[in-house]
Structure 1
Amino acid sequence: MLISIITINYNDLEGLQKTMKSVLGQTYTDIEYIIIDGGSEDGSKAYIESCEQDLAYWVSEPDNGIYNAMNKGIAHATGDYLLFLNSGDWLLDDLVIENFVNFIPVEDIIYGKIKWIKEQKIWDDDFSNKITFKYFSKASLPHQGSFIKHKLFREIGNYDEKLKITSDWKFFVLAIYKYNCSFKRINMFISMCNRDGLSCLPESWPLILKEREETMKTYFPAFYSDLAIYENVEEKLLTKIHKLKRNQRFWISKALIKIFK
């Protein structure tokens, strides 16, 4: 099984070095490693060039943003599964890809656990076995912890370059709920992810919500209307809970968790 790993980078030499070392140090050898650099001027290009004997493809040239760079990587990938591991994120240990292959994957999308790091603080992030439509109204799957079958990009299309932050989220929503792609959670950590990316910044949330809302309205208008009503009821109930006594809040909260999760 050939695994394509795509790393995009722009002026992040230190992050790029961590990412590339984690991939090039894997025990599994059938890895096709692709680097898309946006024309960095911080020494990234020279570092990539020094490792080119271990790369399937690399380029350093200006691009039109994150998703344009990721799409460039897809265009040169030939693997059975693709993993997007951007500069500053790294595989958790040298056995990650070998352990993934040992699961004998067949599903269209296979995702695992990740760890976040910010200012030396590290915390785990796990994802449910059950990914509901409502889940995607508030969250996504991690592209740094998700192996995607190559054929999906031919069937669904590449990442939407008109979106600035949520194109990978949109891809997962369409794959699972429009194209009925299969998915599976595996109980293993995939990567360590930097928490200071664009999508993690508080000031990005208005645009994230706007892009998600436009996608929902375009592709799932009926579901979006139901979801809006559903969330409005949830919000009102949770607001009222805070006015109850402590013991009442405990039991009602437990019931609501079962209803709304």
Structure 2
Amino acid sequence: MLMHKNYLISIIIVTYNAEKHLGALMESLQTRINDQTEVIVIDGLSTDSTMVILHEYYKCISKVISEKDSGIYDAMNKGISMASGKYVLFLGADDRLLINLEELSMFLKDDKTIYYGDVLLSPSNKIYGGKFNTAKLINRNICHQSILFPKAVFEKYQYGKDFRLMEDYALNLKLWASKEFKFSYLEKTISVYSLMGLSSLNIDLDFKKDSLKLIFRYFGPIGVVIKLFNPIRNFFKTSKNSLS
């Protein structure tokens, strides 16, 4: 078990009955982390062989707990409370780390900057991300598997309990609007994001219902206009392409 106390990056992994994919994630970590990385696993009291698999990779795991939680974001908050790195990266049990963290570490210089890159979508093998501006964020989220949050973010904020699957989006909107932290794009593919995961296969109806309220709260009337205008713009863009 790694005992380095001056971690640069804390990787937080939330698991529950993850035996099907967990081994591939852990294999990706083994060759890409260094002694400035701690790996924290928050398990929701799995009943399959998740804990057995984690034991097989104990050399690259710094901390692990297995107990009941009230959902993904409760587990993520637990991981945050245990993290000692200057930056935090969240990965799902069915994701994989792509970038070597030695390469990434040279960019992590400012603890008031949220660094983000791209993800490789699985199984489509398409790149998702690019540089965001306000309009783009209002219409789509930055994938949290591509974000390096300074731990300082979570000294003031944590994931809420209002949305079962989209609390990460809600927090990104809040952080972007607050301007307390700068967002900086790294033209790097950070991880493989599985489209077969829970949040990809389900719709967060509460977030869908409240999204305009959130956008108005953080960006005012102009934010709502941007959100409502986007489907119209896409419709005319699609129609134009179909006539070409």
8 A contact 1:5–1:33 mirrored in 2: yes
Secondary structure at the counterpart of residue 21 of structure 2: helix
1:116 equivalent in alignment to 2:121: yes
The structure that has the greater radius of gyration is: 1
8 A contact 1:22–1:91 mirrored in 2: yes
Matches within 5 A, 1:92-131: 92-93=98-99, 96-106=100-110, 107-118=112-123, 121-128=124-131, 130-131=132-133
Deviation of the 1:64 alpha carbon: 0.5
Where structure 1 has 5 or more consecutive residues not aligned to the other structure, the ranges are 251-261
Where structure 2 has 5 or more consecutive residues not aligned to the other structure, the ranges are 1-6
Give the equivalent residue in structure 2 for 1:91.
97
Matches within 5 A, 1:94-243: 96-106=100-110, 107-118=112-123, 121-128=124-131, 130-132=132-134, 134-155=135-156, 157-201=157-201, 204=203, 206-217=205-216, 219-220=217-218, 223-232=219-228
Matches within 5 A, 1:2-41: 2-26=8-32, 28-41=34-47
Secondary structure at the counterpart of residue 28 of structure 2: helix
| TM-score normalised by length of structure 2 | 0.85
Deviation of the 1:115 alpha carbon: 0.3
Deviation of the 1:206 alpha carbon: 4.1
- CA offset digits 1:106-138 (Å, max 9, x no partner): 2521111110113xx32111321x421x22221
Distance 1:10 1:153 in 2: 24
CA distance 1:205–1:167, change in 2 (3 Å): closer
Distance 2:54 2:69 in 1: 17
1:61 equivalent in alignment to 2:67: yes
- CA offset digits 1:31-51 (Å, max 9, x no partner): 111000111111001222333
Deviation of the 1:75 alpha carbon: 0.6
8 A contact 1:2–1:31 mirrored in 2: yes
Distance 1:243 1:87 in 2: 39
CA distance 1:52–1:182, change in 2 (3 Å): same
Give the equivalent residue in structure 2 for 1:255.
none
- The count of residues paired between Structure 1 and Structure 2 equals 237
Distance 2:241 2:128 in 1: 32
Distance 2:105 2:82 in 1: 22
Taking every aligned residue pair, what percent have the same amino acid on both sides?
24
Distance 2:238 2:10 in 1: 49
Distance 1:126 1:216 in 2: 20
8 A contact 2:42–2:64 mirrored in 1: yes
Q: Amino acid of the residue matched to residue 122 of structure 1? A: N
Distance 1:35 1:110 in 2: 22
Secondary structure at the counterpart of residue 89 of structure 2: strand
Secondary structure at the counterpart of residue 122 of structure 1: coil
Q: Amino acid of the residue matched to residue 117 of structure 1? A: S
Distance 1:13 1:42 in 2: 7
8 A contact 2:117–2:186 mirrored in 1: yes
Distance 2:142 2:14 in 1: 19
Secondary structure at the counterpart of residue 85 of structure 1: strand
8 A contact 1:7–1:34 mirrored in 2: yes
- CA offset digits 1:158-182 (Å, max 9, x no partner): 1112221111111111112114311
8 A contact 2:139–2:230 mirrored in 1: no
Secondary structure at the counterpart of residue 88 of structure 2: strand
- CA offset digits 1:194-249 (Å, max 9, x no partner): 00223323x516444224234234x33xx343333455556556656777798xx8
| TM-score normalised by length of structure 1 | 0.80
